[in-house]
Structure 1
Amino acid sequence: MKPARPIAWLVLALCAALLASCASGPVRRVSEPAARIQQLTVQADGRWDVELRLQNFSSIPMRFDAVELQLTIAGQDAGTLAASPDLLIGGESADVAAIRLVPSAGARLAIADALAAGRSVEYTLDGAITATPDEGKQRRFQTDPRRSALSPAPGLPGVLR
């Protein structure tokens, strides 16, 4: 019987190390979620229906328990988007929560002006999202002020996306 070659032992050790590293399972990473307005619809009575897109950047599912986001439209305080959506969103996925808002007069005018002129309008969301990671404890994530813009949706009167 021939003695084993050192290279064969090295290959066997590397295979064993590789197999052992796979035994730990996938990484469970919890990242700060994000929110943005997917669609804003102006109702005949002046209220807004806001479709808020909640993005889970974590590698595991999270239950989105509450949102409290201050909405500013064209520099005008519009009000607070507050809801308890109770949405379970898978890892690295998103879902939409519907929120009705009675906006301030200044924000209402800014949106009406943007719709009439057919131009976009800037908005900012700032506040907190409360979520519970899968098999974890509920956490409150403070969001950084997030700026974006909404544009009138062609063929859909009173709708901005």
Structure 2
Amino acid sequence: MKRLLHGLALILLVGVLAACGPQRQSVFPPTLTIQQMRVQSDGTWELTLRLQNNSYTGMNYQSIEGELQVAQGIPARLHAKFDLDVPSFAGDVVSITVLPTIDMSKALQAVAAKGSAGSLAYAIKGVVHCTPHLEDHPDNKNPRDFPFNHNDYLSPVPGIANTYR
């Protein structure tokens, strides 16, 4: 009986010590949305993308590869390289210049003619490349690629020409 109690005490001690280990930091895909879009004088679109970090640890975002589709037309390429550190459960923005297709520009002009009552459907999808700030990987040698896919609408901003949110 004494052996059984010592064995159970040893198992209980090992279980308690295992629970005292470092907390695992979970990493989840970020959310990407268009926060604002401005039509530049040369016809390009400047997108302000919001990257929302949904992880329990900070992330370093390095690049985006994807596409922007407006009004069911041919998509335009989204591509940018940057160095953006975002703390856990926080967000930050990055600007990307996009060369729209003729159909995309025509769809935007039709929405602009309606004023603030108009809206333009868009979809962004692709991959964001990032590296989590993990305590068990102090050299940050654990890069991740997360797919993203977001559908929403852009509407003209009242009083601010060529700006959509």
After TM superposition, the score normalised by the length of structure 2 is 0.80
Asked if the contact 1:78–1:106 (Cα under 8 Å) also holds between the matched residues in 2, the reply is: no
Unaligned runs of 5+ in 1: 1-16
Q: In 2, distance between residues paired with 1:25 and 1:159?
A: 47
Output the amino acid matched with 1:103: P
Asked if the contact 1:30–1:133 (Cα under 8 Å) also holds between the matched residues in 2, the reply is: yes
Which string of whole-angstrom CA distances, capped at 9 and with x for unpartnered residues, describes residues 109-141 of structure 1?
Answer: 111111111201110011111110014411111
Q: Which runs of 4+ in 1 moved over 3 A?
A: 23-27
Output the amino acid matched with 1:128: V
Match of 1:41 among 35, 38, 62: 38
Asked if the contact 1:74–1:123 (Cα under 8 Å) also holds between the matched residues in 2, the reply is: yes
Output the amino acid matched with 1:56: N
Q: In 1, distance between residues paired with 2:52 and 2:156?
A: 23
Sequence identity (%): 32
Output the amino acid matched with 1:140: D
Which SS does the other structure have where 2:67 is aligned? strand
Pair 1:152-2:149 in alignment: no
Q: In 2, distance between residues paired with 1:94 and 1:116?
A: 33
Which string of whole-angstrom CA distances, capped at 9 and with x for unpartnered residues, describes residues 36-76 of structure 1?
Answer: 10000001211111101111100100000110121001112
Q: In 2, distance between residues paired with 1:111 and 1:81?
A: 18
Q: In 1, distance between residues paired with 2:82 and 2:59?
A: 12
Pair 1:138-2:143 in alignment: yes
Cα drift, residue 24 of structure 1: 4.2
Q: In 2, distance between residues paired with 1:60 and 1:111?
A: 38
Cα drift, residue 78 of structure 1: 4.0
Output the amino acid matched with 2:51: L
1:50 is matched with which residue? 47
Cα root mean square deviation, aligned? 1.9
Q: In 2, distance between residues paired with 1:42 and 1:160?
A: 9
Match of 2:64 among 56, 64, 67: 67
Q: In 2, distance between residues paired with 1:111 and 1:90?
A: 35
Q: In 2, distance between residues paired with 1:124 and 1:106?
A: 15
Unaligned runs of 5+ in 2: 1-15
